[in-house]
């Protein structure tokens, strides 16, 4: 039961990170700034709102996602599913069709990526010298 709450916390944080990135913050990790997520958020009316995470936290998440990309060998779907889901605004089914894998595989890879990012951000919070 605790894991569900835990996962929703990181998912909310990653949604805020995606909003933070959509307004032009963060480093370039190979994803365009004008993403479908950004366009959808503008259409729904909340795209102009400021994200609720700080620039420091957004930078920490950015760094964790960039490190995940570096550490993912070819064929590892974690980085792709995470960025497609949060920055691209795509569903697990759409990502699965694009990657030609099962939807459960995409869901599992995304959850693993969320956990990796959360663990990395937590480590950064406890040891800021690693930045």
What does the domain layout of the chain look like in residue ranges?
A: 2-26+33-130
In this prediction, residue 128 carries a pLDDT of: 45
Region 98-125: mean pLDDT is 89
Which of 93-125 are b and which e, b meaning 16 or more Cβ less than 10 Å from the residue's Cβ?
eebbeeeeeeeeebbebbbbbbebbbebbeebe
List pLDDT tens digits, range 5-57: 446 788 888 998 998 888 765 545 555 545 555 555 555 554 445 667 888 88
Supply angle C-alpha 27, 81, 79, rounded to 5: 45
Structure tokens at 54: 């700080």
Could you tell me if 90 and 84 are in contact, meaning their C-beta atoms sit under 8 angstroms apart? yes
pTM to 2 decimals? 0.71
In this prediction, residue 25 carries a pLDDT of: 55
Model confidence at 3, in pLDDT bands (50, 70, 90)?
very low
């Amino acid at each position: 039961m605790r894991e569900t709450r835990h996962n929703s916390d990181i998912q909310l944080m990653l949604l805020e990170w995606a909003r933070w990135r959509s307004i032009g913050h963060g480093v370039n990790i190979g994803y365009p700034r004008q993403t479908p997520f950004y366009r959808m958020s503008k259409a729904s009316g909340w795209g102009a709102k400021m994200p609720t995470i700080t620039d420091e936290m957004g930078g920490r998440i950015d760094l964790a996602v960039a490190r995940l990309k570096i550490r993912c060998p070819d064929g590892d779907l974690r980085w792709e599913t995470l960025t497609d889901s949060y920055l691209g605004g795509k569903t697990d089914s759409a990502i699965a069709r694009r990657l030609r894998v099962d939807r459960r595989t995409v869901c599992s890879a995304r959850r693993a990526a969320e956990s990796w990012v959360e663990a990395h951000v937590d480590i950064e919070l406890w040891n800021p010298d690693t930045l």
